[in-house]
Amino acid sequence: MKIEGRNAVVELLKTDKTVDKLLMQRGSEKAAGRIFAMAREKGIRVQFADAKALDAESETGRHQGVIAFVSDYAYVELDELLASKDGGRFVIVCDGIEDVHNLGSILRVAECAGADGVIIPKAKSAQVTGAVVRISEGAANHVRVARVPGVNYAVDELKKKGFWVYGLEAGGEDLYSCDLSGDIAFVIGGEDRGVGALTRKKCDKLLSLPLRGQVNSLNASVALGIAAYEALRQRR
């Protein structure tokens, strides 16, 4: 897998993940000096090449002069993600998030809001790729992600573990009137269809954001961000 962009690579180098090599644009030592120094400190091989070579290797077209080559993203097991801990657990379930930009933004929200992890289905969903890591500005390097056979399976497992599962969906109760303490999970659906019908029935409650404008919906990652920070505010 290729991790591209300066912020994403910096966050990668902060972890203990194995980096096979860095490809850096020749002459970028000053602009990307921090990355070069971090790589040398960790003993990572750095190869310099011209801009055309990086353009040819780039999968996103936005490499900013640096590409890291790493093993494929390492997902965690669902049981590990849902393990008991001191204080309330908080996870995010993605239902039909097929756009890599949305998934990258969701991972960034999850990391910034202190979520314990994110759950995605193996089918009909974006997966964690180099592009997703870059879009997340490197947050994906710090967030645990579990893949499951399906969203409804995940919801059933969450409820067995004592979680309250809330679907973020139009027509639900006002988010700001809900007690978001304890072990909770937010289910966020894709923009085209929202949370699936059966999943909505399985959720303990549906929550909605108050909308005062003419547009009747928010981007999935924006809606999640608002809900996640309301949960964070209540749980401080």
Judge whether 2-70 and 78-235 match in fold. no
Confidence at 84, pLDDT banded by 50, 70, 90:
confident
Poorest-confidence range of 91-95, 205-209, 212-216, 231-235? 212-216
CB-based contact 143:117 (threshold 8 Å): yes
Superfamily classification of domain 78-235? SPOUT methyltransferase, trefoil knot domain (3.40.1280.10)
CB-based contacts of 229-236 (< 8 A; 24+ apart in sequence): 229/113, 230/175, 230/176, 230/180, 231/90, 231/113, 231/180, 231/184, 231/186, 232/113, 232/114, 234/179, 234/180, 234/181, 235/87, 235/88, 235/90, 235/180, 235/181
Poorest-confidence range of 47-61, 141-155, 206-220? 206-220
- Domain range list for the chain: 2-70, 78-235
| Whole-number average pLDDT of the chain | 92
The domain made up of 2-70 has a fold known as: 60s Ribosomal Protein L30; Chain: A; (3.30.1330)
Edge-to-edge strand order for the sheet containing 66-70?
2-4, 66-70, 19-25, 46-49
**Residues with Cβ within 8 Å of residue 166, at least 6 apart in sequence:** 178, 180, 184, 185, 186, 187, 203, 204, 205, 206, 207
Confidence at 60, pLDDT banded by 50, 70, 90:
confident
Question: Can you give the pTM of this predicted structure?
Answer: 0.85
pLDDT at position 86, please? Answer: 84
pLDDT at position 27, please? Answer: 82
Above 80 in pLDDT, residue 30?
no
Give tens-digit pLDDT for 185-218: 999 998 778 899 999 999 999 999 988 877 777 8
Residue predicted with more confidence, 62 or 180? 180
Tell me, what amino acid is at 44? Answer: I
Give tens-digit pLDDT for 113-147: 999 999 999 998 999 998 999 999 999 999 999 99
- The stretch 88-109 carries a mean pLDDT of 95
Beta partners for residue 164, in sequence order: 184
Above 80 in pLDDT, residue 38?
yes
